[in-house]
Amino acid sequence: MSLNITLAVADINRSEHFYRDLLSLRVERFVAAPGAEPVLLIDTDGATVVLCASAVLQRQYPTIYRDLEYHPHGVGVSIEFVVASLDVCQRALERGGYSWLHKCEDHEHQMQELWLHDPDGYLVVLYCRDGDDSLLAVSR
């Protein structure tokens, strides 16, 4: 079984830059059919995060996605990604003008976390474990 999670985003190019260039995640631009609007796919080995323009979702599913801009995105949900280096991501985020909410280091479990909001307000948690290359499979 696989899991797809669709997130509505205001600007697909801005989201692509954030997830691909700043967080160094594998982001694929996908067009389902000629003339269709592109979506972004972030494959995380078992789950795929699909980033779709809010305007497209509102056109395709007006009853479900009506008035998206009036509601906070992802309340109560965090989207977690394993990355190779939190320090590299943190520096890239700071250069891009993004701040982070929380950073913690769990020395007992050799784990680090960095919490931040993406450009659309979704809570993103980046984490890495020192010395465990198997966890790096979802990062680029």
Q: Are the CB atoms for 120 and 9 separated by under 8 Å?
A: yes
> 20 CB contacts (<8 Å, ≥6 apart)?
26, 27, 140
Q: How many CB atoms lie within 10 A of CB 22?
A: 22
- Lowest average pLDDT, out of 11-20, 79-88, 100-109, 130-139, goes to 130-139
Question: Can you tell me the mean pLDDT for 101-128?
Answer: 91
Question: Can you tell me the mean pLDDT for 97-111?
Answer: 88
pLDDT at residue 10, rounded to an integer: 92
- Model pTM score: 0.83
Q: Report the share of the chain in percent with pLDDT over 70.
A: 93
- Lowest average pLDDT, out of 6-15, 71-80, 106-115, 131-140, goes to 131-140
The domain made up of 3-138 is a member of CATH 3.10.180.10: yes
pLDDT at 134 over 60: no
Q: Report residue 52's pLDDT band, with 50, 70 and 90 as the boundaries.
A: very high
Instruction: Give the integer Cα–Cα distance in Å for 46 and 43.
Output: 8
Instruction: Give the integer Cα–Cα distance in Å for 49 and 79.
Output: 9
pLDDT at residue 135, rounded to an integer: 38
